[in-house]
Structure 1
């Protein structure tokens, strides 16, 4: 009789869980961004959060929790209840390179988080102040070599994709910069506009407004092809550096053990949001390639990209504590 009672309870739990998932979401959803407002990740997270409101039928709020190159926000997601009401909008550095660079992270991406989807890929670009006397990458490298340790590079944090991209740039071109890490791309951009740093590397979306205003210049794309938003800007490959290629992406993750029906509903909501022509056009105008990969594809991407960055970081011998 006891065994029959356990079996009945277990079978009875299935429709209860299914009914709960069907009711999801019944209140607002929070999307945590592990960087300050104004950075490249934040610029994508906000229109995507707005875009999933209609499919979900609920308000979606963006919550910026900057610090430790996105790890503070990621930890907040991992420690949240696995009920679909707290998500993380992440970039690739948070889930790929941070675990390879920091010894004492409290979050294990594979164990503590569940992938939902990717939403955008970004060819990384090199941005400089418009008044810097360098119109392309060749001129920039020559200028930097003529002033060793006099020019400053600003990153969104130690170990971020922009920092690692700079390390690849430094290794391949021989430039010698002072590296100034910030708590996010937004603060670094403010300092570049203020004349305190002379180079940033990130997604174009972060710089578009200032490029349009004539305050910044893009001198190279670190992708294999030019971007439609920057048809006149050549890649580093075109300018003589065939191996200077760095790509990054952004995606959505939930706490581990979030029910599969909830993950599927969220995956579908983001798929719908990205299919809206206005959303895709907005992302392209910001310098991103709209790129939807579902839960399984994103999990595969994380495994493959982790292997790639493991090799790069090992070659550069970078380790952060």
Structure 2
């Protein structure tokens, strides 16, 4: 039915009020709780750090920041949910290098692209992985582990937080660099992998120390080396991979907070400022350090460039190793 003259004039008269209303809504951001989606189960590395970050953001923003775990498909379920949510600043995604730097190289039929469909808010941390073994494995050093793996091809089971994640890619690099044949056992997150390492159901895990700390301190697992250029303050007695006889092998992770691509700029700027405040002006870095990770703030532009570089780096590793997940 054609618009009447009265209806048309009414719409025109109302139009100027719409823009100020939208602008006011953005200026008042946030005016209600914010969801922060995480693609792994409770107790994993991303979850632990995300739950340390959330209350600091809540303190700065004045609204609840609610962590919501949507585990599965190496974080892709949570990422797709975030992409499909309204781009209004009230749904965010908190992920790691596997989610934001590797996913599109592994999965070729995803309904989203991490650079096209998300906009970075900030990087929050970085960490090095450690090489840990179950207590029942008869090795006490990295050299002994490599020798054992070579003498028992296909008999070592190594867990990961999920196919294509940081722990899986680190394992593939380890296998290639050492010439060993080790069975990959993917889990839905780090927490169940650590549980099985502690229980002796897998023998090897390359992941963040914060996740394994309980198992290590209880004597059910032990760390052989840190996959970094320097020893870590939380593990001063543990050698680096270079010191342990495997120079050039380094592997780590990082986390970043992102939002759906069309999120209003004022909301993004407010969120970025809140993350920077949390990492520079509170005790959050100390809380991170207690988990064996380091606070690392990159602003939105720096994070976007960093993610693009990481996608190129890890995409090359995925191609060279022939890793494919669908």
Q: TM-score, normalised by structure 1?
A: 0.93
Count of aligned positions: 317
Q: Which runs of 5+ in 2 are unaligned?
A: 1-9
Where does 1:74-153 land on structure 2 (aligned, <5 Å)?
74-153=79-158
Query: Alignment partner of 1:299: what SS?
Result: helix
1:10 to partner: Cα distance: 8.3
Moved more, 191-200 or 231-240: 231-240
The aligned residue for residue 259 of structure 1 is: 264
- Which residue matches 1:313? 318
Q: How does 1:194-209 map to 2 (within 5 A)?
A: 194-209=199-214
Cα gap change, 1:238 to 1:13, in 2 (>3 Å): farther
Aligned residue number for residue 42 of structure 1: 47
TM-fit CA distance, 1:62: 0.7
What CA distance in whole angstroms lies between the structure 2 residues aligned with 1:8 and 1:167?
A: 63
The CA distance in 1 between the partners of 2:33 and 2:165, in whole Å, is 30
CA contact (8 A) 2:115 2:308 kept: no
The TM-score, its normalising length taken from structure 2, stands at 0.92
RMSD: 1.9
Query: How big is each residue's C-alpha offset from its partner over 1:131-183, in whole Å with a ceiling of 9 and x where there is no partner?
Result: 43222211111122222222210111111111111000000012222211111
1:303 corresponds, among 293, 302, 308, to 308
Q: Which runs of 5+ in 1 are unaligned?
A: none
82-91 vs 138-147, which moves further: 138-147
Contact persistence 2:136–2:200 (CA under 8 A): no
Q: Do the aligned residues in 1 keep the contact of 2:31 with 2:63 (CA within 8 Å)?
A: yes
Deviations 1:246-296 (A, max 9, x none): 221001011111000000101111111222442111111111111011100
- Structure 2: distance between partners of 1:31 and 1:275: 21
Secondary structure of the 1:98 match is helix
Query: Counterparts of 1:248-287 in structure 2 under 5 Å?
Result: 248-287=253-292
Structure 2 CA distance, aligned partners of 1:123 and 1:140?
19
For 1:32 and 1:313, locate their aligned partners in 2 and report how far apart those are by CA, in whole Å: 26
Q: State how far apart, in whole Å, the 1-side matches of 2:308 and 2:156 are.
A: 36
Larger radius of gyration: 2
The secondary structure found in structure 1 opposite 2:284 is: helix
Aligned counterparts of 2:116 and 2:11: Cα–Cα separation in 1: 29
Shift of 1:8: 9.8
User: 2:63 is paired with a residue of what secondary structure?
Assistant: coil
Structure 1 residue aligned with 2:162 = 157
- Find the partner of 1:32 among 20, 34, 37: 37
Aligned equivalents of 2:219, 2:20: Cα separation in 1: 59
Task: Give the SS at the match of 1:205.
Answer: helix
Contact 2:199 2:220 in 1 (8 A): no
Q: How does 1:240-255 map to 2 (within 5 A)?
A: 240-255=245-260
Structure 2 CA distance for aligned equivalents of residues 194 and 80 of structure 1? 39
SS of the equivalent of 1:35 reads coil
